[in-house]
Amino acid sequence: MDLDLKAKSVVVTGGGSNIGRAIVLAYAEEGANITIADIDAEQAGKVAELARKRGAADVQVVKTDVTNLEQVTAMFAAAKSKFGAVDVLVNNVGWDKLMYFTQTTPDLWQKIIQINYVGVLNCTKAALDVMIEQNSGAIVSISSDASRQGEPREAVYGGVKAAINSFMKTIAKENGRYGIRCNIVCPGVTVPENGDEVGGTSMWSNPDSMFTREQLDKVAKTLPLKKIGRPEDIAGAVVFLSSGAARYITGQVLSVSGGYSMIG
């Protein structure tokens, strides 16, 4: 099946590590032109080189803090300047620190909100400025199954991700008339295979601070598919939702979590 992504201009935020890295490489295999927007330019550069080997038409790295609208606007200008358009935005950047809510502080709340939500607002606004003018586009935002189920130690993060679900549905309704589709992918626990898949700014740079091996084994046993998610599991869903194969799908929330949440 032709996914109609060859030579399309794709922006992936946080494309240097874990899920973002896998998404970049999946688009590379489809022959896309890719802009990796990441605060860790060194790690993103490594992924760019690998993407070229995987078949990307072209790749550029633009160092970007998604919480800074000026940087985001400049990044989209660079994508449009180099590739002539922005056909796909993947809002992938995410960050959390696993703690019970009573252990958290307002400073931590603000960091989680800024990175996970304000970053999506900034990037979506800048993408729409381009996509409305060209009368086409697809936006896929990475949320979390914590937004659908509620999850201990992820109270603020899960709440913010639930906000993303609602926000993206609204954007889908407002902008469908311009040929713009917006969808959401909700991963469950998704763990990189090794340290080469993450940079120093990633929350997975110290995996033991997230989950112990024993905890991951326990999670896997509770899932219908009996295994923890890997970044490439998420990437396939993202690529599909942004492709021509999903041309009549918009405003949808898709869990990719081994069956953790089953919502009719």
Catalytic-labelled residue, pool 27, 100, 117, 157:
157
Q: How many C-alpha atoms does 201 have within 13 Å on its Cβ side?
A: 18
> Rounded to an integer, what distance in angstroms lies between the CA atom of residue 47 and that of residue 223?
31
> Rounded to an integer, what distance in angstroms lies between the CA atom of residue 235 and that of residue 22?
6
**What stretches of the chain adopt beta strand conformation (E)?**
9-13, 33-38, 58-63, 88-91, 137-142, 180-187, 253-256
- To the query of whether residue 178 is one of the catalytic residues in this protein, the response is no
- How big is the chain by its Cα radius of gyration, in Å? 17
Take residue 128 and report the two structure tokens written for it. Answer: 């729409």
> Rounded to an integer, what distance in angstroms lies between the CA atom of residue 193 and that of residue 121?
30
Coil vs helix vs strand at 141: strand
Active-site residues, by number, are 157
